[in-house]
Homo-oligomer: A and B are copies of this chain.
Amino acid sequence: MESVFEIIAEPNRRAILSLLVSSQQSVGEIERQLRMTQPTVSKHLRVLREAGFVESTVDAQRRLYRLKPESLQEVDAWLAPFRRFWSAHVDALERHLDRMDQSTPTKRKRRRRRRGPNRERDKSE
């Protein structure tokens, strides 16, 4: 179980991470919200902990798990070149459409121009 990518390949582990993004949770809470058996949760949490995705603190018999950013940032970093790739493509498309606008003027609204080079765009919101 080497890379961070194999870790987040598992759907239940991604679900756990998504749960923890809002606030820390105990094993039992995760178990109930995600409808997984307790050993399954514990096992996934062990994997996540050893891979640096989460950390835990003790609270009586409970253990509270919370996110640690580093490992997911690794994934984010790997994506960087590809982000450059696809924003370059959007740029090319927009330039092309701009040229279309100029050569064949229609009733369409004027297409907005690019704002600044390679600004990160967040598809998810």
- Contacting residues of chain A (59-89) with chain B, CB-CB under 8 angstroms: 67, 69, 72-73, 75-83, 85-86, 89
From A10-18, A31-39, A94-102, the one touching the partner chain is A10-18
Known: A3-B9, A72-B86, A76-B123. 7 other contacts (CB 8 A): A5-B9, A18-B81, A21-B82, A72-B82, A80-B125, A81-B124, A120-B120
Q: Which residue of B lies closest to A14 (CB)?
A: B5
Binding site for B on A (CB under 8 A): 3, 5-6, 8-9, 11, 14, 17-18, 21, 67, 69, 72-73, 75-83, 85-86, 89, 120, 122-125
Residues of B within 8 A of A77 (CB): 123-124
- By DSSP majority rule, is chain A's interface helix, strand, loop, or mixed? helix
Instruction: Select one of B76, B82, B123 contacting A67, CB under 8 A.
Output: B82
CA distance A89 to B77 in the complex (A): 18
Q: Which residue of B lies closest to A76 (CB)?
A: B79
Q: How far is the CB of A34 from chain B (nearest CB, A)?
A: 17
